[in-house]
Amino acid sequence: MTARLAILCPGQGRQHPGMFDVLGLSFDVQTLLEQWSMQERLPMPLATVLANETLLFSNRLAQPLIVAATLSVWERLKHALPAPTVVLGYSVGELSAYAVAGAIAPAATLTLADIRAQLMDASAQSSPPQALLAVTGLDLKRTGDTAARAGISVAIETGHDSAVVGGLREDVQKYAVQLAQDGVRTVMLPVGVASHTPLMNAAVTPFLEALGKHRLSDPAIPVVAGLTGATIRNGDEASCMLARQISETIRWKDCMDTCAEAGITVALELGPGSALARMLHGAHPHIECRSIDDFRSVEGVVRWIGRHFDQ
């Protein structure tokens, strides 16, 4: 079997204080962040944000921080790895994915991540408090039906019996209690905006306008669209998908299936965190999956992937 590599770009929820200090890259990362004008997007020094969990998990700061951490790792790895067959991005990670695929420069990607976060925060501030809830052990159809009756929406389909739902916090909390009574496991996520639900509709058009000012080129590597699980090879289509996914359901289960159908044999999550690697391996155990958070050095990542390509 021919080895094929997928690159996974994470969304919010797994950021940590050491997210920029991985693979021995601290000096290189600082240089890159200066080149990308990262500090201009932060209200205080980066070290202060990373040391404060409230700031680190605030939507306004988390989105550009996660994109910056993801792309800084890719800048160091991209010339050392085999060419990826596809790139996948989870939520705001889909924006990172297009940068990995060469459709947009890292600095512009950070600008767009900043704009995206601001627009989503503005949408959230115009309504009562919002929330996201992970649901495990309930099939997708029943999740969709019960969520709709509770006045909330399926935000992300993560498996045949797992999903993330979102809506107004009060409704989400009531829904969690209802599911607990039925023995269904739920976890409130550390995110304050109901991403990928209609509550974010107001952010879609202005973000599409922002994407138009930073016109995406055709990606050099196919990117799997979160909305459909289809591969995207056109810059205009990419912009449309990136805007729409702010307020529409992400079908991550279908994205993982696309990996399997594309013959992917090994997948690397750029971090922070390793949730995507675990989900992909759980859905398709024949795919070898790791996150950069599992390694201590660039050389370790290269050796691991190299072993699979040498077989």
Residue 207 lies in a domain: yes
- Report the mean per-residue pLDDT for the chain: 94
Residue 71 lies in a domain: yes
Residue 125 lies in a domain: no
Instruction: Tell me: pLDDT of 224 over 70.
Output: yes
Note the pLDDT tens digit of each residue in 147-177. 999 999 999 999 999 999 999 999 999 999 9
What gap in Å lies between CA 181 and CA 173, rounded to an integer?
13
Residue 238 lies in a domain: yes
Note the pLDDT tens digit of each residue in 175-185. 999 999 999 99
- Please, what is the angle between helix 201-213 and helix 235-244, to 10°? 150
Q: Domain check: are 155 and 135 in the same one?
A: yes
Q: Domain check: are 44 and 69 in the same one?
A: yes
Q: Tell me which residue of 98, 96, 115 sits closest to 41, measured CA to CA.
A: 115
Q: In a 3-state reduction of DSSP, which class is residue 36?
A: coil
Q: Domain check: are 138 and 257 in the same one?
A: no
pLDDT at 310: 72
Note the pLDDT tens digit of each residue in 31-51. 888 899 888 888 888 989 999
Residue 168 lies in a domain: yes
Q: Which helix (H) or strand (E) holds 202?
A: helix 201-213
Note the pLDDT tens digit of each residue in 116-146. 999 999 999 999 999 999 999 999 999 999 9
Span 20-28, average pLDDT: 78
Instruction: Tell me: pLDDT of 299 over 80.
Output: yes
Written as six digits, the tokens of 102 are 């060469």
What is the number of structural domains in the chain? 2
pLDDT at 27: 65
Q: In a 3-state reduction of DSSP, which class is residue 154?
A: strand
In terms of Cβ atoms closer than 10 Å to its own Cβ (0-12, 13-18, 19+), residue 257 is middle
Residue with more model confidence, 24 or 44 = 44
Q: Domain check: are 38 and 175 in the same one?
A: no
Q: Domain check: are 42 and 173 in the same one?
A: no
Note the pLDDT tens digit of each residue in 62-87. 999 999 999 999 999 999 999 999 99
Written as six digits, the tokens of 139 are 């099939």
Written as six digits, the tokens of 129 are 């408090």
Question: Could you list the residue range(s) of the whole structural domain that residue 244 is in?
Answer: 5-117+197-310
Say which residue the tokens 């596809």 belong to. 86
